[in-house]
């Protein structure tokens, strides 16, 4: 890596002839008219605009598809010597505004597409009392500024003589010394070489034009031996203020060299397999990571899906496993719905979908995914990950262990997978689950639904269709206002222990009244008999007698006990410490 200052004029020439281009993973140019004017102003005032980062092009390890900067007329056959990693928006804006002879295709601050030329108001540029923002004038591609829906021409710059008359210097020639000198000579001639005009323009040249022609930008250059994963990391580091480059963007550029449009392929797969309520959380990078995990497992070599492994993915490998993995994701979706996880919003971990989909694909290839014993083992592993809270961040090492150990556990009756043996759940964790940010919080909701939970009023079991149609969500059992009025501990009444999935309609009936009152109200309305209502309530791991007696503290202990039992059943693991001093202090009794 090396750093050096390069003249803006030199960079613009390189962009124009195609020596400097963009890697195909770079996104489109999106700067609006006001932002372009602000950037031009920074340059003509000789303010720093930040460094650019380039990658020398020509090594097999960084063989990305490339494209010219928007607006450049360079031949598509031109092989670049450098690719822009950071600085695309600034360099594209400057090239189009200060170098290209074509109008700049940009947008307004409202997002409307427009074409613009940029001018420098000579007289205002020499007047220190004028605000900087007034120096740069943006005009339509017709070079006429109009009002009254085009009927009145406020400023006409459509001919060179008009530019001279209005003393407006076209900024798209400022970096071309020959064109700038030609314009200057004609400008002098237009004013019959008036000494004051010459004096003013000489001042303008000294103050703005010459410094702009000499303006330099610091350029950090990465040599062509830089590995792909380093390019990805560098790009992420320098783009912290914008949209980070993903592994998918890089692989897209790599596959494009073999005339394969990865983005189009992914969009088709996304529409077919990943547009539903549950799998719509899967990103293109997640898919590549899962595919790399699966393919390295199938190769019988080192199983890994770290960034460098994904970037080393070969097109033929992608094509071999992509369809099978899509089916694996579909199997994972079915399995999760069996466990009463119906939407991405209530999915405990999107990250755990990566190993889950790869495992389901491998088991599907063996034609054993549909057997009860196999599915139960996968579910046990899954819930240990959720309630052990083991997938809070991307953990490629755990993914590799998962697919290797879970498959061996299932097919060879091997040792328990590490995710299962790593499971640990502190009973007091139930009280700290206050919001759906927690994976275990969402997991509890699924376990309640899996217990054939029925809506309080309708008695309908909350399966997939009911979940969607009735707007099922978690709500307080002892209502919030009631708990506040009775000064109950918020850590108890706002925890998952005092929440359960019910319909929006049932929640409205509950309101803020004591349980004994809202249960009685439901009965008086004839919505359900006492026995029916108690039966519905019990399906939520709730003791109906404690609820009818408004016995909050015993209710908390009883329900926490039942939720812990449900977690033990799902994970196949014992939860220790249920009678510890810590638990008794927190809950007021053992669980």
Which of 442, 440, 268, 474 is CA-nearest to residue 343?
442
Mean pLDDT of the 269-274 span? 96
Whether the predicted pLDDT of 585 surpasses 90: yes
Contacts with 139 (C-beta within 8 Å, 6 or more apart), sequence order = 116, 117, 118, 119, 145, 155, 157
Predicted confidence at residue 160, as pLDDT, reads 95
Residue with tokens 């495992």: 359
Query: Could you tell me the pLDDT band of residue 152, with boundaries at 50, 70 and 90?
Result: confident
- Res 514: pLDDT: 93
Tokens, residue 116: 């613009």
Q: Where in 151-246 does DSSP place strands (E)?
A: 152-156, 168-170, 216-222
Torsion of CA 303, 308, 314, 319, to 10 degrees: 70
Which helix (H) or strand (E) covers residue 147, if one does? strand 144-147
pLDDT band at 405 (very low <50, low <70, confident <90, very high): very high
Q: Give the residue from 195, 332, 389 showing the smallest Cα distance to 203.
A: 195
- Taking each helix axis as running N to C, give the angle between helix 439-450 and helix 372-387, from 0 to 180 degrees, rounded to the nearest 10: 140
Q: Hey, how many other C-beta atoms are within 10 angstroms of the C-beta on 109?
A: 9
Bridging pattern class, strands 104-107 and 499-502: unpaired
The predicted pLDDT at position 313 comes to 92
Q: Residue 241: what pLDDT?
A: 46
Residue with tokens 């195609």: 18
Instruction: Assess contact for 155 and 139: CB atoms under 8 A.
Output: yes
Residue 242: per-residue pLDDT: 47
| 343-356 confidence digits (pLDDT tens) | 998 999 999 999 99
Per mean pLDDT, which of 240-244, 248-252, 269-273 is the most reliable?
269-273
**Per-residue pLDDT at 582 exceeds 80:** yes
**Could you give the CA distance from residue 247 to residue 259 in angstroms, rounded to a whole number?**
18
Phi then psi for 156, rounded to 5 degrees? -115, 115
pLDDT tens for each residue of 366-403: 999 999 999 999 999 999 999 999 998 768 999 999 99
Angle of the 284-298 helix axis to the 353-365 helix axis, nearest 10: 40
pLDDT at 332 over 80: yes
How far apart are alpha carbons 84 and 518 in whole angstroms?
65
Contact 550, 516 (CB under 8 A): yes
Rounded average pLDDT over 142-168: 88
Across residues 235-259, what is the average pLDDT?
68
* Sequence-separated (6 or more) residues with CB below 8 Å from residue 389: 438, 439, 440
What average pLDDT does the chain have?
90
Q: SS3 string of 544-564?
A: HHHHHCCCHHHHHHHHHHHHH
Is the pLDDT score of 239 beyond 80? no
Task: Give the pLDDT band (50/70/90) at residue 237.
Answer: low
Within 8 A by CB and 6+ apart from 464, the residues are 337, 342
CA 570 to chain centre: 31
Report CA Rg, the chain: 33
Counting every residue, how long is the chain? 591
Q: Which residues contact 524 (CB under 8 A, 6 or more apart)?
A: none
Give the pLDDT confidence score for residue 350 in this predicted structure.
Answer: 93
pLDDT band at 240; cut points 50, 70, 90: very low
- Extract the tokens encoding 260: 């394969």
Short-list 513, 523, 528, 515, CA closest to 556: 515
First to last CA, the chain: 61
If you search the block for the tokens 């599915």, which residue do you land on?
A: 375
Better pLDDT: 209 or 414: 209
Half-sphere exposure of 209 (CA within 13 A, CB side): 26
- Quick count: other Cβ atoms within 10 Å of Cβ 371? 12
Query: 357 or 64: which carries more pLDDT confidence?
Result: 357
Q: What is residue 499's three-state secondary structure?
A: strand
Q: Percent of the chain scored above 70 by pLDDT?
A: 93
Q: Are 293 and 271 in contact (CB under 8 A)?
A: no
Give the model's pLDDT for residue 264. 92
pLDDT above 60 for 158: yes
Residue 86: pLDDT band (50, 70, 90) is confident
pTM value? 0.73
- Displacement of CA 506 from its chain's centroid (Å): 35
Extract the tokens encoding 241: 């203020």
**Taking Cα atoms as reference points, which of 183, 184, 319 lies closest to residue 251?**
319
H or E stretch covering 7? strand 2-7
Band of pLDDT at residue 147, cut at 50, 70 and 90: confident
For range 509-516, the mean pLDDT = 88
Q: How far apart are CA 349 and CA 389, in angstroms?
A: 9
Mean pLDDT of the 77-106 span: 90
Q: Of 397, 375, 379, whose CA–CA distance to 289 is shortest?
A: 397
Q: What pLDDT does 92 receive?
A: 92
Measured CA distances, 293 to 122, 301, 321, 361, 416 (Å): 62, 11, 11, 11, 20
Higher pLDDT, 66 or 286: 286
Q: How confident is the model at residue 87 (pLDDT cuts 50, 70, 90)?
A: confident
CA dist 355 and 406 (Å) reads 10
């Amino acid at each position: 890596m090396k750093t050096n200052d390069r003249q803006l004029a030199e960079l613009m020439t390189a962009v124009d002839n195609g020596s400097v281009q963009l890697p195909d993973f770079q996104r489109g140019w999106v700067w609006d008219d006001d932002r372009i004017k602000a950037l031009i102003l920074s340059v003509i005032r000789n303010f720093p605009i930040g460094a650019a980062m380039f990658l020398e092009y020509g090594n097999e390890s960084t063989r990305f598809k490339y494209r010219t900067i928007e607006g450049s007329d360079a031949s598509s056959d031109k092989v670049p010597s450098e690719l822009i990693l950071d600085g695309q928006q600034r360099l594209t804006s400057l090239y189009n505004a200060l170098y290209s002879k074509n109008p700049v295709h940009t947008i307004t601050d409202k997002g409307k597409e427009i074409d613009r030329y940029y001018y420098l108001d000579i007289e205002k540029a020499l007047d220190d009392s004028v605000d900087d923002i007034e120096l740069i004038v943006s005009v339509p591609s017709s070079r006429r500024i109009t009002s009254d829906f085009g009927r009145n021409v406020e400023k006409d710059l459509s001919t060179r003589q008009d530019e001279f008359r209005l003393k407006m210097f076209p900024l798209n020639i400022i970096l071309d010394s020959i064109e700038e000198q030609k314009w200057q000579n004609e400008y002098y001639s237009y004013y019959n070489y008036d000494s004051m005009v010459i004096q003013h323009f000489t001042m303008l040249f000294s103050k703005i034009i010459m410094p702009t022609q000499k303006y330099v930008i610091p350029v950090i250059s990465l040599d062509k031996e830089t590995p792909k994963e380093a390019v990805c990391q560098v790009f992420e580091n320098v783009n912290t203020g914008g949209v980070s480059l993903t592994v998918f963007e890089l692989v897209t550029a790599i596959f494009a060299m073999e005339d394969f449009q990865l983005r189009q392929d992914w969009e088709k797969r996304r529409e077919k397999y990943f547009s539903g309520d549950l799998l719509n959380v899967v990103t293109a990078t997640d898919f590549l990571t899962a595919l790399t995990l699966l393919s390295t497992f199938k190769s019988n070599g080192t199983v890994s899906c770290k960034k460098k492994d994904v970037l080393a993915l070969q097109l033929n490998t992608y094509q071999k496993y992509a369809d099978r993995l899509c089916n694996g994701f579909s199997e994972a979706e079915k399995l999760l719905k069996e466990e009463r996880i119906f939407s991405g919003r209530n999915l405990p971990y999107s990250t755990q979908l990566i190993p889950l989909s790869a495992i389901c694909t491998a088991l599907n290839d063996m034609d054993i995914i549909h057997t009860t014993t196999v599915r139960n083992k996968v579910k046990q592993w899954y819930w240990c990950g959720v309630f052990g809270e083991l997938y809070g961040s991307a953990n490629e090492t755990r993914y590799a262990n998962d697919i290797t150990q879970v498959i061996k556990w299932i097919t060879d009756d091997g040792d328990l997978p590490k995710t299962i043996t790593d499971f640990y759940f502190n009973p007091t964790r139930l009280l700290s689950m206050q919001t759906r940010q927690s994976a275990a919080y969402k997991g509890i909701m699924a376990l309640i639904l899996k217990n054939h939970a029925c809506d309080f009023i309708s008695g309908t079991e909350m399966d997939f269709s009911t979940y969607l149609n009735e707007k099922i969500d978690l709500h307080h059992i002892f209502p919030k206002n009631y708990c506040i009025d009775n000064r109950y501990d918020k850590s108890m009444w706002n925890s998952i222990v005092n929440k359960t999935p019910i319909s929006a309609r049932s929640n409205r009936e509950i309101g803020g009244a004591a349980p004994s009152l809202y249960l009685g109200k439901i009965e008086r309305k004839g919505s359900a008999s006492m026995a029916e209502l108690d039966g519905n309530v019990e399906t939520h791991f709730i003791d109906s007698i404690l609820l009818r007696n408004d016995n909050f503290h015993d209710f908390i202990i009883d329900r926490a006990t039942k939720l812990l039992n449900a977690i033990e059943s799902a994970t196949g693991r014992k939860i220790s410490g249920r009678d510890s001093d810590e638990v008794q202090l927190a809950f007021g009794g053992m669980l």
